[in-house]
Structure 1
Amino acid sequence: MSSASLTELDARYHFARDVATAAASRAFSWYQQRQQLVVEHKKDPQDVVSEADRNVEQLIKYMITERFPDDAVLGEESGGDTQGARFVWVVDPIDGTSSFINGLHNWCVSLAIVCEDEAVIGVVCDPNHHELFHACRGKGAWVNDKRIQAHSAQQLNQGVLGISSSNSQPAEPLTSFISALLHQGGMFIRTGSGALMSAWAAAGRLIGYYEAHMNPWDGLPGIVLMREAGGVTNDYLHNDGLKNGNPVLLANATLYPQLKAMLPASFPL
C-alpha cells in the first residue's frame, strides 16, 4: 500500500474532481460543434482521435502541472514521462471518441491517480448526464454527492453485464465468454466507453464489467471506484499494467468468481 498521507490524497482528490469537471465542460463544448471536428484514425480504423481529444488533454495537463508540478501526467494522446514520480495522473480526455463524434451520449472524461504502484483515486465525468463518479482510497465511491455501491446480484441472470472489446485482441476468447454468459441467462451491453461502463458497475447499474485488455487511462478509474463501492477487482497494475495495460474484471464478491471461471484459460486475469 502506498504511504501517501491523508493530506496529500485529500488535496489531489478534491482537485481531480475539479479537473475532470473542467475538462468535461470543455469537451462538451466541442461535442456541441462536433460536425466541424477534424477526426483522424489510428492504426485501427475503429480507434479515432479528434482535435477535441488533444485540446482537452492539454487543458488537463496544464491544470495538473500548475497545481502539482512534481506529479507526472500520463495521457492517452500525448503520453508522458512517469519515471521517478511519486504521484502519476493517468488521463483520457474523451473515452468513447467514436460515440462522441457520432452524437452518442456514451462518452466521458476519465482519470485516475497512482501513488507508489497503487491506484488511489478514480474519477469519471459524464457531462451529458451531469454525473461525476469519484472515489478515493478509504473514502467510498460516489456519484455527485450520493454514495454508491456495487450491485447485490447473486446470479448472472439478475442484471446486465458491461462488456467491451478491442480489435487489437483476438475475438474468440470474448465470444466464448459471451456464450457462457448467455447460457446462464445473462445479458450484456457495450456502449463504446469502458470507463463509463465500469463507473456504472460501481454504481450498481450493471452487475459488473469485463474487458480483455484496457489501457490504464480507461481501466484504472473503474478499479478504484469498484473497490470503494464494496466490490472486487483484479490486480490491474501487476506485470507493469501502468505501462502495458491489463484485463479488467469488476463485480461484487459473489459474482466475481463466477465471471472469472468463465474466462478462457488463454486469457487469464
Structure 2
Amino acid sequence: MANFDLDSRFAFGTRLVEEASALALGYFQSLGTLTIKSKGPQDMASEADLNTEILIRDRLRDAFPEDAFLGEETGRTDAVEGARGIWVVDPIDGTQPFVSNMPNWCVSIAFVLDGRTELGFVAAPARQEIFIGRRGQGATLNGKPIHVRPNAKITDGLTGMGHSARIPPAKFLPILEALLNKGGMFFRNGSGALMLCDVAAGRLLGYVEQHINSWDCLAALCIIEAAGGTVSDFLAHDGMWTGHPLAAGAPEIFPVLADLVGVSALKG
C-alpha cells in the first residue's frame, strides 16, 4: 500500500458521490418521464441507473486511469487484470423504492485496494444524508462522526434483513424464524447499502443477507468497519465477482448474526 495515493482518492470520492447523487436526485424528482424496465422479479432499472453509473465511471476513468471499475449496470472494465485498485459502484441501490417514489435509495461507491475495502461513500439524497468511511480513520454522516450501537443485544432493537429472488422463500424463512426466536426483530427498506449505513449510524443493530452482490454492500461495509462495527469476510472466495452471504453489526451481536447466515468475521 506504500506510495499509493489514497488521500486523493478519498477527496475525489467525496466530491464524486455528491455529484452523482445530485444527478440521481434530478431523475427521482422527474419519475414520470423515466424509462423503466424489469431485469427480473423485484429487480428494476431505469435510465437514471445507467446514466448515473456512466457519470461515475467516466469521472473515475479520467482521474485514475490506472484503477479498475466494476459497476452493476456496465460491468467491469478491461483494466481489472493487474490493477491494484478497483472502484465498485451501484449507481442506485434500492431501485424499486426509487421508482416507487420512496426515499430509501442511495448512490454507493467503494474503493478496494489489494483486496481490502479502504474507502466507502454512500449518498441518500432523498434523505439528505451522506455517509463516508475510511478504514481505520472513522466514519461520518453529513460530516459528523458516527458509531455502531454500543453494548448491543439482539433484543435491543431492529436488525436489517435483505432478501432477493435469488434465494427461494423456503431457504429465507428459517433465517427469519431464527432471528425472531432469539428475540430479535427484522427491518427492511429495499436498499441493502442504506440499511448497512443505518447500522453504522447505530440506528439498526446489524444486518444479514443470504446473498448480496459486491456493488450493493462494499461501500457500506467499509463505513460500518470505520464506525467500529464487525463485518463478515465478504471478499473471500471471489465475493467481488460472485457475491456472498453477509453479516455486519455491532461487535457484541455479530456472532449471533454470523450464525444466522453461516459466515465468519473479517480479520484485522
Q: TM-score range by the shorter chain?
A: over 0.9
User: Structure 1 residue runs of 4+, over 6 Å off?
Assistant: none
Choose 194-203 or 184-193, whichever is displaced more.
184-193
1:41 paired residue number = 38
C-alpha deviation, 1:207, in angstroms: 0.3
1:80 paired residue number = 76
RMSD over aligned Cα atoms? 1.4
SS for the counterpart of 1:180 is helix
Query: In the alignment, residue 68 of structure 1 is paired with which amino acid?
Result: F
1:125 paired residue number = 123
TM-score scaled by length of structure 2: 0.94
Task: Tell me which of 153, 156, 175 is aligned to 2:154.
Answer: 156
SS for the counterpart of 1:84 is coil
* Separation in 2, partners of 1:35, 1:178: 36
2:222 aligned with 1:224:
yes
Task: Tell me which of 216, 241, 244 is aligned to 1:243.
Answer: 241
C-alpha deviation, 1:173, in angstroms: 3.3
TM-score scaled by length of structure 1: 0.93
* Separation in 2, partners of 1:54, 1:177: 33
2:204 aligned with 1:206:
yes
Percent identity reads 40
* Separation in 1, partners of 2:90, 2:260: 30
C-alpha deviation, 1:250, in angstroms: 0.6
Query: In the alignment, residue 34 of structure 1 is paired with which amino acid?
Result: L
Task: Tell me which of 21, 27, 30 is aligned to 2:27.
Answer: 30
Query: In the alignment, residue 18 of structure 2 is paired with which amino acid?
Result: T
C-alpha deviation, 1:184, in angstroms: 2.5
- 8 A Cα contact 1:111 1:218, kept in partner: no
Deviation sequence 1:133-152 (CA, Å, 0-9, x none): 01112211111211111112
C-alpha deviation, 1:185, in angstroms: 2.3
Choose 76-85 or 108-117, whichever is displaced more.
76-85
Query: In the alignment, residue 236 of structure 1 is paired with which amino acid?
Result: F
Query: In the alignment, residue 186 of structure 2 is paired with which amino acid?
Result: F
- 8 A Cα contact 2:248 2:257, kept in partner: no
SS for the counterpart of 1:165 is coil
SS for the counterpart of 2:165 is coil
Q: Which runs of 5+ in 1 are unaligned?
A: none
User: Number of paired residues?
Assistant: 262
C-alpha deviation, 1:4, in angstroms: 4.9
